[in-house]
Chains A and B, each alone.
Chain A
């Protein structure tokens, strides 16, 4: 695995024929210059860097978990973990019309897609896709939300990652992972939520499968009360 730091020039053989340049890489003339520290990845003509970070910078198309902070006119103001607040229009919810407004209060949590990140303006979010369908987006009721690093979020939702599968063998739970480093979980009891939160936090630096199973097993059997 090759790790690049800002200012390095990428000279990978597999990157010469790639046409799509992704995250962390800038084109300057013919040169591919790295702008963020990360591990090099390539797949079917795409190249990008996997960056380890805790601070979210909005990108179009990302699914994020947002907290409603206030209502202003036709918009909700949302906290998505960036420097500035993001906005979502009343009409960008499934089934919402000008008269039938979504019932959101300050402090509510929603799962939404970033669709506009024009510089110098607030990022704009939406809870519906192009067909005006929610497809899992919208308000998240109950449960518990916490923060982990952005790379851990990406790792959790990677199909080849075993963490969620292994946890699913022991716990019954619902999970939503936002690309802004926020995770929302819901389980039948508070005790289980605490245990799931523990496993997710502790699994960040665990790579071996056996180690992972013993971690989940240990959390499953231990008692959190008292």
Chain B
């Protein structure tokens, strides 16, 4: 079992006009994420009880009206943010895929979390994405585009930090034929990586706040 994430790099406040933004890369997969809000929302979309989420993932080519990744990002964000805190407002999260070398779903989720952290708005818990693929009965974590194309099954975990500090599944997206034991094995493989990503969040935020030390 290959259980290592590719190298992560992140630059916060990358886009000048967004409230929070990040340029995040994992190996050679790279995205730009931006997050603006809580802000004004069009009257037709406004919700009197909760904040309206507007999530869009945009690849660097092709038709970008809708992406399958929107669903999992939307449901993860809806769980991570207490939407009732800001009724009648909107939060716009946009993720641009700059270079796709596999694991785009996981990288988008991580980028979205970085944009949210950079924004500084209140939310319940940090979250991250971990993609695991199965190639010839072997589980590979954070696959490249080649490995992803050769896979017979994919599972994308959206992981939240639980109350005790350990990773918890928040939502997941599974493609292919998986039995219970395999899913269990995939989850136990994803846990240490999720913890590693959470640690990376803290180290990046420490760097951002280092200007205050004086």
Contacts and interface: CB of A to CB of B under 8 A. Distances in A.
Q: Are A and B part of the same complex?
A: yes
Interface of A: 1, 3, 5-9, 24, 35-39, 50-55, 57, 83-84, 119-120, 150-151, 155, 204-205, 207
Contact of A54 (B19, B125, B210): B19
A207 B209 contact: no
Interface string B179-211: 000000000000000000010011001101111
Given A3-B205, A6-B125, A38-B209, A83 B120 contact: no
Contacts, number: 97
B88 A83 contact: yes
Interface of B: 19-20, 36-41, 48, 80, 86-90, 117-126, 160-161, 163, 165, 198, 201-202, 205-206, 208-214
A119 B117 CA distance: 23
27 contacts: A1-B212, A3-B202, A5-B198, A6-B80, A7-B126, A8-B161, A8-B165, A9-B163, A35-B123, A36-B122, A37-B117, A37-B120, A38-B120, A50-B209, A52-B208, A53-B20, A54-B19, A54-B119, A54-B120, A55-B36, A83-B38, A83-B39, A83-B41, A83-B86, A83-B88, A83-B89, A120-B88
Contacts of A9: 163, 165
Given A50-B209, A54-B19, A55-B20, 5 more contacts: A1-B206, A51-B120, A57-B38, A57-B121, A205-B211
Contacts of A36: 120-123
A39 B209 contact: yes
Q: Is the interface of A mostly helix, strand, loop or mixed?
A: loop
User: 4 smallest A-B Cβ distances: which pairs?
Assistant: A53-B120, A7-B125, A83-B89, A35-B122
B209 A52 contact: yes
B16 to A, nearest CB: 10
A9 B80 CA distance: 16
Contacts of A8: 161, 165
Nearest to B123: A6
A53 B19 contact: yes
A78 to B, nearest CB: 14
B87 A119 contact: yes
A181 B88 CA distance: 23
B2 to A, nearest CB: 28
A7 B40 contact: no
A207 B213 contact: yes
Nearest to B117: A37
Contact of B201 (A5, A53, A54, A57): A5
Contacts of B90: 83
Contacts of A52: 118, 120, 208-209
Given A7-B125, A83-B37, A120-B87, A55 B119 contact: yes
B23 to A, nearest CB: 17
Contact of B209 (A1, A35, A83): A1
B198 to A, nearest CB: 8
B152 to A, nearest CB: 35
B86 A35 contact: no
A179 to B, nearest CB: 14
Nearest to B205: A3
A83 B213 CA distance: 31
Nearest to B51: A83
B122 A24 contact: yes
A61 B128 CA distance: 36
A57 B210 CA distance: 23
A204 B211 contact: yes
Given A37-B117, A52-B120, A53-B19, A151 B126 contact: no
Contacts of A7: 124-126, 160-161, 163
B124 A6 contact: yes
Nearest to A51: B120
Nearest to A50: B212
Contacts of B87: 119-120
